[in-house]
Chains A and B, each alone.
Chain A
Amino acid sequence: MKKKKSNPLSRREFLMICSKALPFTGIFFIPFTADQILFAQKTKEYDPTQHEYAMGINIHKCIGCGRCADACKKENNVPREPYYFRTWVERYIISTDGETYVDSPNGGIDGFPEFKDNLEILRTFFVPKLCNQCANPPCVQVCPVGATFLSRDGVVLVDEKYCVGCRYCIQACPYGARFLHPTKKIADKCTFCYHRLVRGLLPVCVEVCPTQARVFGEVGLQSSPLRRFLRFNDVVVLKPSLNTRPKVYYAGADGEVR
């Protein structure tokens, strides 16, 4: 009996070709992965003088999923109670008569409940908040022992072994970005995931954001995504009148955001 004519490609052949082609498919992912890595990880030693970081937040892109706030708590061992946040998401609801209603239940981690007020809504948007890593930080100015300081790469950090827990920095922060760690009894705040930065990784909130509402990078680097963000968006900082010179830039932020 004559053997039935086989397909032009047998299953085996097909798989062989695929396996050979596989390495090349990576090309498609290069644009995505390039964003995720800050600098070549092969550099010998991290040199803070060679970097200056900032963050951009695109309000139009934020969907209020709260994954950033959740990931931040996991990554940085922030207490799970809903009163301690290094980053959180606020929901703004602006009614047609100009009233603004803001909420942030559990920092937005569990999502936002349906808004049931009999309000005629004009527009709504979400605003992720975090430490603004000010270039002129009032929290650093007031720390009596210098436990909180501005690192050379532009991040405001707290020395855990030095903080006396006087909470003056918490009072001095205009953005409510600091809290007293309930067990460590020291001031705690967003570090831009400094432990990740020194390894060339992005802050975890940036990495998990499904819509790339958060953009992170070097201020001084022409090719950084942050530069691109700053170039193509009209950005504002929060509470500019206080002259804190924040390094978190908001694109599309309404005047109501503060």
Chain B
Amino acid sequence: MVELIMIHIQTGLKDITGYIYPNEFELHWGLLIVVYPYLTGLVAGAFILASLERLFKIKVLQPVYRLSLLSALAFLFVAPLPLLAHLGHPERSFEMFLTPYTKSAMAMFGFVYAWYLMVVLLLEIWFDYRKDIVIWSQEKKGIMRFVYKILTLGATDLSEKSILLDNKIGKVITIIGIPSAFLLHGYVGFIFGSVKANPWWSSVLMPIVFLFSAIVSGIALVLLIYMVSTMFRWKTMNMSCLNQLGELLLYAIIVDFSLELLDFIQRLYESEESIHILSQMISSRLFLSLIISQFILGSVIPMISLVWARFGRVPDEMRRMVYFIAAILVQVGIFSTRWNVVIGGQLFSKSLRGLTVYKIQLFGLEGLFMAGFLLILPFIILYILCKLFPPWVDSEVKLH
């Protein structure tokens, strides 16, 4: 194991420029810590999208309401796994719940996560599906009948009054849910933004940028899942829903991009001690992932193409194509954003005198394959969830 670490460090040695502290040869937060904020961002974004439909009564989004809730849940299940896999002693991770150090931003993760999973997502989904679950528990046969029976939790009342109550409670949970979703991802931004030792991270805008990039990635994700799932179900896509999603995505990108630019300009204008090494890093190590991938591919191109597709005279077929490509580009862009924050923050020495490199490992707990697995896993979970609780409008059970 030690030999592996040594080999890994040594492969990067020749690419180090300037002076870095001797303890900085090993880069501490790797690919998995990039995946973690990416996943949580998708959760928060998908949930906020669902809340828009419910709270602000944007009815055209109805076809994706349940789908976004289930997507949020699927990604939330996986979100803590990269953290766990990255710990030096995962077997002690439970200490964060039992004996948390309350001043630590990270210690609060467990509680924020548990709150979000238990109080917000699971409850909201349950209240939303309760009527359907009760009916499925009566209609289905065999083991599935039994499963749904358990999932009703004994609340089988289908009277008008109880359905109304479900809706009411669901609404209350959504109202609690929105600040919770903001908390979940804003908090992830705070983990980075509050590290004063690191000039690349230390920014009061970090939680806000994280939040808006989360909304961007969440909307794009739901758009992608909706398009692909509708395609595979051989159904026609609801164009007005797609248009609305495209429009929301566009607005979210504009806000997110403006915030990122603001952060960028502020840094340049303040021109603090660290600016020299940071500009070196941007123009060399991060050029591809920041300028090309995050700014141009992930923001500018989707913005322009969305404006054109949404507001131009474009046939529906073309529109769908543009939305799809824009959503994929946005995903690439947001993943790069996470990469640039997490990896970028470690590519320069805290002595502000040198740059180091990050070499991705292929195998092992923190390797490329593990990250790939963790990115695919939510989709597998989502598939199972969709089988269990069909989120499609046409499969919703109608009473009477």
Contact = CB atoms under 8 A, between A and B. Distances in A.
Interface string B71-111: 00000000000010011111011011001110111110100
Nearest to B109: A144
Interface in A137-165: 138, 141-146, 162-165
B92 A145 contact: yes
B264 to A, nearest CB: 22
Contacts of B83: 166
B22 A174 contact: no
Contact of A163 (B22, B88, B99, B103): B88
A170 interface: yes
A165 B197 contact: no
B21 A143 contact: no
Contact of B88 (A88, A107, A138, A180): A180
Instruction: Tell me the interface secondary structure of chain A in the complex.
Output: loop
B5 interface: yes
A165 B350 contact: no
Interface in A166-205: 166-168, 170-180, 182-186
B104 A142 contact: yes
B104 A185 contact: no
Given A145-B92, A167-B88, A82 B22 contact: yes
Given A172-B195, A179-B23, A165 B88 contact: yes
A171 B19 contact: no
A45 interface: no
Most buried by B among A79, A177, A179, A186: A179
Given A141-B104, A143-B104, A258-B351, A162 B92 contact: yes
B104 A164 contact: no
Contacts of A24: none
Interface string A215-258: 00000000000000000000000000010000000000000001
Chain A: interface size category = 35 or more
Contact of B106 (A85, A103, A142, A162): A142
A83 interface: yes
Contacts of B105: 142
B101 A143 contact: yes
B6 A107 contact: no
A163 B96 CA distance: 10
Given A146-B99, A163-B89, A172 B26 contact: no
Given A144-B107, A164-B95, A185-B89, A179 B26 contact: yes
A142 B21 CA distance: 21
Contacts of A186: 88-89
Instruction: Tell me the interface secondary structure of chain B in the complex.
Output: loop
Most buried by B among A142, A178, A242: A142
A183 B1 contact: yes
A190 B19 CA distance: 21
A104 B22 contact: yes
B350 A144 contact: no
A171 B197 contact: yes
A85 B104 contact: no
B9 interface: yes
Contact of A145 (B107, B350, B352): B107
Contacts of B5: 182
B2 A176 contact: no
Contact of A171 (B25, B101, B195): B195
Interface string B260-286: 000000000000000000000000000
A147 to B, nearest CB: 8
A126 interface: no
Given A163-B88, A163-B89, A171 B29 contact: yes
A81 interface: yes
Contacts of A138: 195-197
A102 interface: yes
Contact of B2 (A129, A179, A183): A183
Contacts of B107: 144-145
Interface in B19-74: 19-26, 28-29
Contacts of B289: none
B23 A104 contact: no
A186 B100 CA distance: 17
Contact of B95 (A145, A170, A175): A145
Contact of B197 (A101, A102, A172): A172
B167 interface: no
12 contacts: A83-B6, A83-B23, A102-B351, A138-B195, A142-B195, A143-B101, A164-B95, A165-B87, A165-B92, A171-B198, A176-B23, A185-B89
Interface of A: 79, 81-85, 88, 90, 100-104, 106-107, 129, 138, 141-146, 162-168, 170-180, 182-186, 242, 258
Interface of B: 1-2, 5-6, 9, 19-26, 28-29, 83, 86-90, 92-93, 95-96, 99-101, 103-107, 109, 191, 195-198, 345-346, 349-353
Given A145-B92, A176-B22, A186-B88, 7 more contacts: A83-B22, A85-B23, A104-B19, A144-B106, A146-B100, A180-B26, A242-B197
